[in-house]
Amino acid sequence: MWLLCVALFLAAAHCSLYKPAAFDVLEPPPDAQIIAFTEDGNVIVTPGFVYWVDELKSEIIRLRKECK
């Protein structure tokens, strides 16, 4: 019985380490837009798009560190 209590405590403690982002980084904000494509295939985007990509990158780095 005590083993079950310890296992439940450890499971609960592990779950409390999860800190979700202030917003869902997988969903782009409304200001994250692709404006156009240049003749050579480059993409012109809004500053909101660049910020969103940086947030995605930060979240991936954070998750990789937690998995180690």
* The pLDDT value given to residue 52: 92
CA distance to 24, 32, 34, 46, per residue, from 43 (Å) = 24, 13, 7, 10
Number of domains in the chain: 1
- Is 22's pLDDT higher than 80? no
* The pLDDT value given to residue 10: 52
The span from the CA of 13 to the CA of 60, in Å, is 23
Q: Per the domain annotation, does 47 fall within a domain? A: yes
Domain ranges, residue 35: 23-68
- Taking residues 32-49, report their average pLDDT: 94
- Is 38's pLDDT higher than 90? yes
Q: Per the domain annotation, does 1 fall within a domain? A: no
Question: In this structure, are residues 27 and 55 in contact, taking their beta carbons and an 8 Å threshold?
Answer: no
Q: Per the domain annotation, does 48 fall within a domain? A: yes
Q: Per the domain annotation, does 56 fall within a domain? A: yes
The span from the CA of 18 to the CA of 16, in Å, is 5
* The pLDDT value given to residue 53: 93
Q: Per the domain annotation, does 39 fall within a domain? A: yes
**Which has more pLDDT, 3 or 26?**
26
